[in-house]
Amino acid sequence: MVIEVVRIGQRVVRDDRVTTHVALVSRAFGAQKIFMTEVNPEIKDTLDKINKTWGGNFRVEFIDKWKSIVKKKKAGNFKIVHLSMYGENINDVEDKLRNEENLLVVVGAEKVPREIYELADYNIGVGSQPHSEISALAILLDRIQKGKQFEKSFPDAKRKIIPTKMGKNVQVNETRD
């Protein structure tokens, strides 16, 4: 399954950290790419450094208009998944989502334009209480992959966390560049 994410909008200053975390969750939870509008370019640098240290080839692409990428992906055999408090309950659609081949997950910042609700194949609500878009994205990605994203290994990683009951165990391979 190919999973990509679109981050729509950003509230200046407040959302630099939130958008960085949306990108980090996207990467760590199995997405291959994130498209971002109106963001600080340092976020891409941060993700490039994460890839270099921890492995992988997660990509960050800056876009001017979210609508053109959503329409392009929809025409290219991607199902559009919009995370919204007001959507269908994730429990009712997670099996359908698992069977899709390609997903483009839309994560909003401020008020999302009405048009995204109409373009989306799925408007998904994660819970029925206000919470973070970061948590909604993490839960969605975990549910549709059944935790298998955590079994992924990056052979080009300089560092790898070795699970341990207590303490920290980090395998370091500094010979990689």
Q: Is residue 82 part of a domain?
A: yes
How far apart CA 30 and CA 138 sit, in angstroms, is 10
pLDDT for residue 10: 58
State how beta strands 33-36 and 59-62 pair: parallel
For residue range 48-85, list pLDDT tens digits in order. Answer: 999 999 999 999 999 988 999 999 999 999 999 999 88
In a domain, 173, yes or no: no
Would you say residue 61 lies in a domain? yes
In a domain, 170, yes or no: no
CA 108 vs CA 22, 116, 158: distances in Å: 10, 10, 33
pLDDT attached to residue 25: 96
Question: Looking at the domain assignment, is residue 159 inside a domain?
Answer: no
Instruction: Give the structural domain span for 99.
Output: 2-152
In the chain, the number of structural domains is 1
Does some domain include residue 58?
Answer: yes
Query: Can you give the pTM of this predicted structure?
Result: 0.89
Would you say 112 and 10 are in contact if contact means Cβ atoms under 8 Å apart?
no
Q: What is the CATH number of the domain that holds 125?
A: 3.40.1280.10
Q: What is the pLDDT of residue 78?
A: 97
Residue 175 in domain: no
Alpha-carbon distance 150 to 29, whole Å? 7
158 part of a folded domain = no
